């Protein structure tokens, strides 16, 4: 596979990203922009989660804490502190990074299912805080967050300018995650995932790498949550609920964990289902369950994972 | 000759069971030293203690004059004391070239750079190819490690280990489960690698290490039974007894 020296990207991946960009630029003229923005936020969330699971080999069951935690902080920053959208998003993202550092440094001491349980336990604490703290609005969450002006200049009141802001941030985040996977650091990460004792015997402090990938993953999950709060002008308990942690696992597995484009496809499928099947009410979760079971049974490597095996190309 | 690795009174207890009991071991600089013993003799425990994958209950370990008893396994690897594994230790989904590059990039210290392109690692390609060539794998450079045969995986592991340019190698049953042809190939490789290096290898069978090692320590039931060169050790009645007693000649 030829990899460009400047971008570190193979020609195929560059072409896919170019098509994706063109598609996303045209998208708001065909579908409801808020829906498209929701998909993009979740695509970034799933990609961040996949960095940890697919490339770090660590299954976190508490990623709602970073996604939701950041959305609360960003909403609060925009609504109460009156910050501009980009600063509010930055505050939320930074909060997620700090949270990831604290939780991650405790969680990586355990492995496998214990690691997952520790992350879940902490995420439940964050949920409790979101419910009980005075500034979070309890059951109501933080509502009617103003959209404000980007850099204090460009109004994001209309959905089209907002759409392009969201597109730039989420696609930028996804490209950054791509770079992390294809960096010297990413290479070591894959080595640790493949054979941890061997990586240790080569002299790598594996816990430092695990903590770093954990923080990176939490940070970008936070970025996704922070942007989402600006789009929906809302931070709610749904974002920090454990079922959100489960949903992102679903997205990554359905699309194909450890692939580049799988989580994006997985996120698009899950969000579309929730959106277009909304009329079926509570049956959405049942349908989601059936699709997930079928997906796991038929495509164990996920949709993009299977496609990648057929084409014999990493996707 | 000076001592490269020394264990004094090395003891490991597991919930009342003493797996390794007051073992004193001195590995001379530049020698090939073998640690052998029948099943359950405590070889693997002893090996894991020396490589720091296990913490000793008591006793001290010094490496090149430095106390390493309390160091982490990754730390001693950075001091130049590198171990191998019984099950061949490669990164299966990485290519042969990438396997060796991962070893090379650790020494240079840009392995935390998550913002840099992977293409940056190409600067190690020539050096990696040199090590791959050394172990006779140049035809497989771009293959995934998982596709290699057992003997070739072992060779790849050695190439990656040599890329670290260690002063001392600890080999955990390097010939385990190998066909005779492979045993000879790996023996020759170990002998070549041993130039200017110190090697401690754990083996099950005395015969395998006969022509390879300068000194042999025999372990049985967690304690040292005999020590010396092959001629001395193989005639020792206690050693013969331990092996026959355990069902091996």
Whether residue B191 sits in one domain with residue B155: no
Question: Which among B165, B180, B198 is the end of a domain?
Answer: B165
B117/A201 touch (CB, cutoff 8 Å), yes or no: no
Q: Which pLDDT does position A208 carry in this prediction?
A: 94
- Testing the interface with B: which of A191, A193, A220, A259 to mutate, by most B Cβ within 10 A? A191
> Does some domain include residue A270?
no
Distance from CA of A100 to the nearest CA of B (A): 17
- A-chain residue closest to B79, CA distance: A203
Distance from CA of B93 to the nearest CA of A (A): 7
Residue entry with tokens 């942007």: A227
Pairing of strands B32-36, B81-83: unpaired
> Does some domain include residue A303?
no
Q: Which of residues 64-83 of B touch A (CB under 8 A)?
A: 72-75, 77-78, 82-83
- B-chain residue closest to A175, CA distance: B115
CA atoms within 13 A on the CB side of A201: 28
H helices, E strands: number in chain B: 9, 10
Please give the biggest Cα pair distance in chain B: 63
**Spatial contact of B215 and B181, defined as CB atoms under 8 Å apart:** no
pLDDT (tens digit per residue) in A200-223? 999 999 999 999 999 999 999 999
**CB of B90 less than 8 A from some CB of A:** yes
Distance from CA of B140 to the nearest CA of A (A): 16
Pairing of strands B66-67, B58-63: antiparallel
- B-chain residue closest to A196, CA distance: B91
B164/A203 touch (CB, cutoff 8 Å), yes or no: yes
> Does some domain include residue B44?
yes
> Element (H or E) spanning B14, and its range?
strand B3-14
Whether residue B19 sits in one domain with residue B63: yes
Q: Which pLDDT does position B167 carry in this prediction?
A: 92
- B-chain residue closest to A187, CA distance: B102
Distance CA B30, CA B48 (A): 22
> Does some domain include residue B85?
no
**Partners of residue B13 on adjacent β-strands:** B18
Question: Which among B165, B180, B209 is the end of a domain?
Answer: B165
Pairing of strands B81-83, A154-155: unpaired
CA distances from B160 to A131, A182, B116, B138, B190 (A): 52, 21, 23, 14, 14
Q: Which of residues 182-241 of B touch A (CB under 8 A)?
A: none
Nearest to B121 among A184, A190, A205 (CB): A184
Distance CA A68, CA B234 (A): 69
Pairing of strands B215-220, B32-36: parallel
ipTM of the complex as predicted: 0.84
> Element (H or E) spanning A101, and its range?
helix A85-107
pLDDT (tens digit per residue) in A237-267? 999 999 999 999 999 999 999 999 999 999 9
Pairing of strands B32-36, B17-28: unpaired
> Does some domain include residue A311?
no
Q: Which pLDDT does position B178 carry in this prediction?
A: 74
CA distances from A2 to A11, A13, A266, A290, B118 (A): 7, 11, 27, 40, 12
> Does some domain include residue A283?
no
Range of the domain at A112: 31-240
> Does some domain include residue B157?
yes
pLDDT band at A277 (very low <50, low <70, confident <90, very high): confident
> Does some domain include residue B2?
yes
What residues have CB less than 8 Å from B179, skipping those under 6 apart?
Answer: B151
Question: Which among B165, B190, B217 is the end of a domain?
Answer: B165
Range of the domain at B107: 90-165
A184/B120 touch (CB, cutoff 8 Å), yes or no: yes
> Does some domain include residue A56?
yes
Collapsing DSSP to helix, strand or coil, B117 comes out as coil
> Element (H or E) spanning B209, and its range?
helix B206-209
Q: How many folded domains does chain A comprise?
A: 1
> Does some domain include residue B144?
yes
Distance CA B92, CA B175 (A): 20
Q: Which pLDDT does position B249 carry in this prediction?
A: 43
- Testing the interface with A: which of B100, B117, B162, B171 to mutate, by most A Cβ within 10 A? B117
* Sheet arrangement for strand B81-83: B81-83, B168-172, B198-203, B32-36, B215-220, B223-228
Whether residue B148 sits in one domain with residue B126: yes
Determine what percent of chain B is predicted with pLDDT higher than 90. Answer: 43
Which among B154, B150, B135 has a CA at the least distance from the CA of B201?
Answer: B154
Distance CA A261, CA A258 (A): 9
pLDDT (tens digit per residue) in B168-182? 999 888 887 777 777
Residue B248 has pLDDT above 70, yes or no: no
A204/B111 touch (CB, cutoff 8 Å), yes or no: yes
Q: Which pLDDT does position A314 carry in this prediction?
A: 86
Please give the biggest Cα pair distance in chain A: 56
CA distances from B248 to A201, B100, B232, B236, B242 (A): 32, 37, 19, 15, 9
Residue A36 has pLDDT above 60, yes or no: yes
Lowest pLDDT segment from A95-99, A152-156, B85-89: B85-89
Interface A–B counts its CB contacts (< 8 A) at 112
Nearest to A203 among B77, B113, B114 (CB): B77
B117/A188 touch (CB, cutoff 8 Å), yes or no: no
Mean pLDDT of chain B: 87
* Contacting residues of A for B110, CB less than 8 Å apart: 184
Which has the higher per-residue pLDDT, A281 or B249?
A: A281
- A-chain residue closest to B91, CA distance: A194
Average the pLDDT over A40-53 and give the result: 98
Which among A43, A25, A70 has a CA at the least distance from the CA of A222?
Answer: A70
pLDDT band at B79 (very low <50, low <70, confident <90, very high): very high
Determine what percent of chain B is predicted with pLDDT higher than 70. Answer: 97
Whether residue B180 sits in one domain with residue B74: yes
Q: How many folded domains does chain B comprise?
A: 2
> Does some domain include residue A25?
no
Residue A56 has pLDDT above 60, yes or no: yes
Which has the higher per-residue pLDDT, A119 or A137?
A: A119
* Contacting residues of B for A212, CB less than 8 Å apart: 112, 114
Q: Which pLDDT does position A206 carry in this prediction?
A: 94
Whether residue B66 sits in one domain with residue B180: yes
Query: DSSP state, B88?
Result: -
Q: Which pLDDT does position B231 carry in this prediction?
A: 84
Nearest to A8 among B85, B93, B117 (CB): B117
Distance CA A28, CA B149 (A): 53
- A-chain residue closest to B118, CA distance: A183
Which among A284, A292, A294 has a CA at the least distance from the CA of A249?
Answer: A292
Distance CA A103, CA A48 (A): 16
Whether residue B249 sits in one domain with residue B176: yes
- B-chain residue closest to A212, CA distance: B112
> Does some domain include residue A198?
yes
Average the pLDDT over B155-166 and give the result: 89
Mean pLDDT of chain A: 92
């Amino acid at each position: 596979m030829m990899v460009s020296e400047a971008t570190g990207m193979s020609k195929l991946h560059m072409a896919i990203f170019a098509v994706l960009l063109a598609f996303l630029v045209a998208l708001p003229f065909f579908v409801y922009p808020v829906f498209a923005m929701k998909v993009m936020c979740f695509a970034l969330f799933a990609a961040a989660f996949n960095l940890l699971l697919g490339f770090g080999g660590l299954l976190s069951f508490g990623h709602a804490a970073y996604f939701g935690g950041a959305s609360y902080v960003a909403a609060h920053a925009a609504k109460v502190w009156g910050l501009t959208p980009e600063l509010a998003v930055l505050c939320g993202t930074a909060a997620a990074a700090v949270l990831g550092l604290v939780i991650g440094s405790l969680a990586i001491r355990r492995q496998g299912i214990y690691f997952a349980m520790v992350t879940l336990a902490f995420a439940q604490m964050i949920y409790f805080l979101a419910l009980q703290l005075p500034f979070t609005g309890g059951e109501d969450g933080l509502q009617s967050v103003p959209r404000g002006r980007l850099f204090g200049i460009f109004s994001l009141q209309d959905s089209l300018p907002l759409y392009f802001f969201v597109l730039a941030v989420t696609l930028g985040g996804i490209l950054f995650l791509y770079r992390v996977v294809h960096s010297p650091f990413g290479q070591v990460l894959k080595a640790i995932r493949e054979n941890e004792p061997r990586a240790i015997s080569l002299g790598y402090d594996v816990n430092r790498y695990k903590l770093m990938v954990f923080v990176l993953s939490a940070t970008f999950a936070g970025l996704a949550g922070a942007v989402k709060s600006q789009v929906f002008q809302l931070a709610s308990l749904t974002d920090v609920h454990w079922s959100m942690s489960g949903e992102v696992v679903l997205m990554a597995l359905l699309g194909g964990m450890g692939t580049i484009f799988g989580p994006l496809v997985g996120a698009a499928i899950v969000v579309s289902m929730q959106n277009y099947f909304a009329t079926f009410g509570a049956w959405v979760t049942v349908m989601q369950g059936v699709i997930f079971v079928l997906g796991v049974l038929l495509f164990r490597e996920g949709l993009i994972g299977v496609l990648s095996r057929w084409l014999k190309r990493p996707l | 000759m000076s001592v490269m690795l020394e264990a004094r009174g090395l003891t490991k207890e597991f919930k009342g069971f003493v797996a390794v009991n007051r073992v004193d071991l001195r590995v001379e600089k530049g020698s090939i030293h073998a640690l052998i013993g029948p099943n359950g003799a405590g070889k693997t425990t002893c090996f894991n203690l020396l490589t720091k994958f296990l913490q000793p209950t008591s006793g001290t370990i010094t490496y090149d004059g430095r106390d390493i008893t309390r160091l982490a396994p990754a730390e001693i690897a950075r001091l130049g004391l590198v171990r191998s594994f019984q099950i061949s230790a490669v990164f299966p989904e990485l290519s042969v070239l990438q396997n060796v590059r991962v070893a090379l990039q650790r020494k240079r210290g840009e392995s935390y750079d998550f913002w840099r392109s992977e293409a940056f690692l190409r600067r190690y390609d020539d050096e990696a190819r040199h090590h791959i060539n050394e172990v006779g794998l140049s035809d497989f450079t771009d293959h995934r490690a998982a596709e290699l045969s057992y003997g070739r995986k072992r060779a790849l592991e050695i190439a990656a280990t040599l890329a670290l340019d260690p002063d001392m190698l600890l080999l955990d049953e390097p010939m385990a489960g190998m066909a005779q042809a492979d045993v000879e190939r790996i023996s020759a490789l170990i002998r070549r690698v041993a130039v200017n290096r110190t090697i401690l290898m754990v083996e099950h069978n005395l015969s395998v290490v006969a022509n390879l090692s300068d000194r042999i320590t025999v372990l049985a039931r967690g304690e040292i039974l005999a020590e010396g060169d092959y001629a001395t050790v193989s005639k020792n009645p206690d050693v013969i007894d331990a092996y026959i007693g355990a069902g091996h000649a």
